[in-house]
Amino acid sequence: MKRIYIQEEYCIGCRLCEIYCQVKHSKSKKIIKTFKEEKSDIIPRLIVEEIGYNSFAIQCRHCQDAPCVEACISGAMQKNKNTGAVVCDENKCVGCWSCIMACPYGVIKRDISEKKVASKCDLCIDEEVPVCVKNCPNEALKFMEKDTDERNKVKVKNEG
């Protein structure tokens, strides 16, 4: 499956990925309206980690054997067999946060704006390329099938 790969050496910490993620998961899908009227409701589904000049944006790795899927008590968290994306069915989610505790990457967040649900990257399944990747001004995020780059291969292995 296509995954999002991180080139942390080119992450410039601008956080445009977060902003566009919020817009994508807003009601209006319009950037100004999202922030002027809906902002408090929307959590970016990725995290920009930053220490000194090092930064990178991390979102769900959509693991092969996802610990969050195993941990889910309600069957809300499922790995889609067709797309490979690990997606939380918010109707089934009971907000027990088991997935949050199980996730080794810390990329699932609590969304308590309405009903308590786990909020995570859905890989923008309806888009050709996830919006965080599409809007990264420095191509620090890459959406691709398989990486030929040795350095990134190690990362794929780590993801299990």
Q: Which of 75, 84, 106, 137 binds another protein (CB under 8 A)?
A: 137
Output 40 or 82, the one with its CB closest to another protein. 40
Output 36 or 110, the one with its CB closest to another protein. 36
Q: Which of 1, 27, 29, 36 binds another protein (CB under 8 A)?
A: 36
Binding span for another protein by CB under 8 A among 31-39, 68-76, 77-85, 102-110? 31-39
Partners of 29 in the beta sheet? none
Output 38 or 90, the one with its CB closest to another protein. 38
Does residue 35 touch another protein according to CB under 8 A?
yes
Does residue 12 touch another protein according to CB under 8 A?
yes
How far, in Å, CA of 105 to CA of 51, rounded? 17
Per-residue binder mask for another protein (CB under 8 A), 98-127, x = binder = ------------------------------
DSSP of the chain: --EEEE-GGG-----HHHHHHHHHTSSS--HHHIIIIIGGG---SSEEEEETTEEEEE-----TT-HHHHH-SSS-EEE-TTT--EEE-TTT-----HHHHH-TT---EEE-SSS-EEE---TTTTSSS-HHHHT-TT--EEEES----HHHHHHHHHT-
Interface ranges with another protein (CB under 8 A): 7, 9-16, 19-20, 31-32, 34-36, 39, 52-53, 135, 137-140
